[in-house]
Structure 1
Amino acid sequence: MIANKLTILTATAALLEPALALGHRHAHHQHAQKRGDWVVATIDGQVAKPSQAAKSAYEPASQPKKEETAAKASQKAAIKEKTQSKAKSSSTQSKSSGSTSGGSAGFSHKRGVCYNNVDLANTFAGDCKNCGWGYNWDSSSGGLKGLNFIPTLWNDQPLHTDRFADNCAQALSDGAKAIFSFNEPDNAGQADMTPAYAAKAHVKWLNPYAGKALIGAPSISNSGLPMEGVEWLKNWVSECEKLGEQCHYDFCNVHWYSEVEYGNTLFDHLKASHEACGGKPIWLTEFAPTGSDEAIADWLKDAIPKLEALSYLDAYSYFKVETGMLMTSETELSSYGSVYASA
């Protein structure tokens, strides 16, 4: 890229999701569009890096499966970003292949799967010998087999809270080792909560499970906008500390999306999140670069050993088990899906 030029590269990925967030609660089979914007800028000839990365987080698996539409790239003259976008780790350094144990969570492997379609998840899990756990943005697994299921309280609305206690009781009975708090409250397109509100809601709904399972802080995006991403997490931790011991969390839950060219920023995000979390372990529960299948496969070959070796990272799951992503059909893994399953 040319020095003294401002280059803005925006890739917009449109994703369909159930129209349940933000109070738009229509019939369960309706969908609402979801967008993620990548903005990459270079100034004065410096190396390009994402000023903000897109992110895609989903409603629970109990809702209709989301379908993906093609991404269309465009250029803009000004940066206008809209992002839709703890227990200590005992992980040991990994070898060039294979997976380490899931740190303080005690999984057989720290690698996991996120899914909406449980049949696809079960198929993928059968091929992923290095996967130890899974989740689906919901509090019920829908029939996940062979993996430790982690229930999620997507937000604090009755649609989710009314069945949360019963589903958590079942998950704990089945051996669930952790419970996830709200899904991206830093994101207006997801749980959409202020840090103060989210801390109080976390106390109400998650604290009763302290000591029964590891409790995650609300998940965050890697947005660079004010009061999103890591900045939101810092504020949430501060609000949680004001509430004292009743606001309990064992690890912080983070998401990351960007172009494959800037894949190294994943580790910057993990480090910043670890610091914001007060040194508690990190779970990377959504991550995916954009690029060709070959480029993503090559990136995963390099990234997975680093994730396995990262001492404060207790668990990670690639986004996601779905056709057109980690799978090409109901029975076949994609090229990078095969890497994720076998590396």
Structure 2
Amino acid sequence: MVSKYLIGAGALLSPLVSATSSAKRGLIFIPNSTTLQDNSIWVQTGSDLTWYYNYGNLPSSDYTHIPQSKFEFVPMMWGVGPNPSQDTAFHDSVVNLINTGTPISHVLSFNEPDAPSAWGGSDVTPANAALAWIANFVPLQKLGVKLGIPAVTGAPTGFDWTEQFLANCTSILQTQCPYDFIPLHWYDNLGGLQSHINQYATAFPGKKIWVTEYADPNQDLATTQQFFNQSASYMDGLASLERYSYFGAFRSNVSNVGPNATFLNNAGRLTDIGSLYLGFGLTGVVPTSNN
């Protein structure tokens, strides 16, 4: 399969007519109960997408018929409850999936724990996160499941939170806190994304990085397309970056990252960005259009 990158107005990269498909690309699945027909778009024949997550611990019913080898579900423990050291519900659900025929190989944890709930974060202290990590994730690694540490925000406080979390975990275990990869979020321009990835790659050498949410929000269409083109090319070529998932798998009229950053227009048709992310060609569909 051949995938292409979008060349927006004023793009700095040389035009990329085609490139090999990217197994790194995943789906952030955010279903809308009023547009359920959109759910099949992401798994149509020829799609580049190889994995997905839905901010939850169970696979989405739309995709349970697809083998993990073709479209891998990655469970997430979104936040932490009032008994972080005793609540093992996430661990138990993953073990149950494995035992009932869904071979889980990767898991994600705590969504933006350094951010308050009003901003969409799980608002978890590093100390409580460490307790929940030890109760739910460390035993999964012993089963061969690869662990992604909490995905903090792109703010400087996120890096501080990560260091405190790992220090708490190491202190409790009296040995190095176990994990396999580092999920990151980024909502700004390409230079910032590159700097953000480099910061974590330098601080935690040898660990693979996933960018599990990213976009350059609330920009005009040309700027948005240029960011998509350059960021996809950059991440596809970065050996230390194992996977990425763009935040935009929804219609323009329900977007919280601006109307131009989405994979679908108001009528549910693939925009240029959406089509290229799936590995298809340009559609010419304007995100804000209604047909």
* 2:95 counterpart (162, 169, 184): 169
Contact map agreement 2:190 2:230 (CA 8 A) in 1: no
- Write the deviation string for residues 14-66 of structure 1: whole angstroms up to 9, x where unpaired: xxxxxxxxxxxxxxxxxxxxxxxxxxxxxxxxxxxxxxxxxxxxxxxxxxxxx
The gaps in structure 2 that reach 5 residues or longer are 1-16, 253-261, 281-291
Query: 2:128 aligns to what?
Result: 197
Q: Which amino acid aligns with 1:328?
A: N
Counterpart secondary structure, 1:320: coil
Query: 2:150 aligns to what?
Result: 218
Q: How does 1:6-21 map to 2 (within 5 A)?
A: none
> 1:284–1:137: structure 2 CA closer, same or farther, 3 Å change rule?
same
Contact map agreement 1:216 1:249 (CA 8 A) in 2: yes
Counterparts of 1:171 and 1:330 in 2: how far apart (Å)? 36
Give how far 1:331 is off: 4.3
Counterpart secondary structure, 1:129: coil
Query: 1:98 aligns to what?
Result: 20
Counterparts of 1:209 and 1:327 in 2: how far apart (Å)? 36
Contact map agreement 2:211 2:244 (CA 8 A) in 1: yes
Q: How does 1:134-173 map to 2 (within 5 A)?
A: 134-145=52-63, 146=66, 147-157=71-81, 164-172=90-98, 173=101
- Write the deviation string for residues 141-186 of structure 1: whole angstroms up to 9, x where unpaired: 2224341000000112279967534532354332222011111111
Query: 1:252 aligns to what?
Result: 182
- TM-score normalised by structure 2 residue count: 0.72
Counterpart secondary structure, 2:184: strand
Q: Which amino acid aligns with 1:125?
A: V
Query: 1:111 aligns to what?
Result: 25
> 1:244–1:277: structure 2 CA closer, same or farther, 3 Å change rule?
farther
- Give the percent of matched residue pairs that are identical in Structure 1 and Structure 2: 26
Number of equivalences: 235
- Write the deviation string for residues 191-242 of structure 1: whole angstroms up to 9, x where unpaired: 2122222112211111121133111101111013xxx212221222222332
Contact map agreement 1:293 1:336 (CA 8 A) in 2: no
* 2:50 counterpart (123, 127, 132): 132
> 1:330–1:138: structure 2 CA closer, same or farther, 3 Å change rule?
farther
Give how far 1:251 is off: 0.8
Give structure 1 regions of 4+ aligned residues with deviation exceeding 4 angstroms: 158-163
Contact map agreement 1:251 1:282 (CA 8 A) in 2: yes
Contact map agreement 1:149 1:171 (CA 8 A) in 2: no
> 1:214–1:96: structure 2 CA closer, same or farther, 3 Å change rule?
farther
Counterparts of 1:201 and 1:336 in 2: how far apart (Å)? 37
Q: Which amino acid aligns with 2:148?
A: G
The gaps in structure 1 that reach 5 residues or longer are 1-94, 101-108
User: Which segment is superposed worse, 235-244 or 287-296?
Assistant: 235-244
Contact map agreement 1:153 1:182 (CA 8 A) in 2: yes
- Write the deviation string for residues 56-106 of structure 1: whole angstroms up to 9, x where unpaired: xxxxxxxxxxxxxxxxxxxxxxxxxxxxxxxxxxxxxxx962334xxxxxx
Counterpart secondary structure, 2:273: helix
Query: 1:236 aligns to what?
Result: 165
Query: 2:196 aligns to what?
Result: 269
* 2:235 counterpart (290, 307, 328): 307
Q: Which amino acid aligns with 1:341?
A: L
- TM-score normalised by structure 1 residue count: 0.62
Counterparts of 2:169 and 2:115 in 1: how far apart (Å)? 19
Counterparts of 2:39 and 2:174 in 1: how far apart (Å)? 38
Q: Which amino acid aligns with 1:327?
A: L
- Write the deviation string for residues 274-294 of structure 1: whole angstroms up to 9, x where unpaired: 233343111110001021233
Query: 1:184 aligns to what?
Result: 112
Give how far 1:329 is off: 4.8
> 1:158–1:196: structure 2 CA closer, same or farther, 3 Å change rule?
closer
Greater share of residues in strand? 1
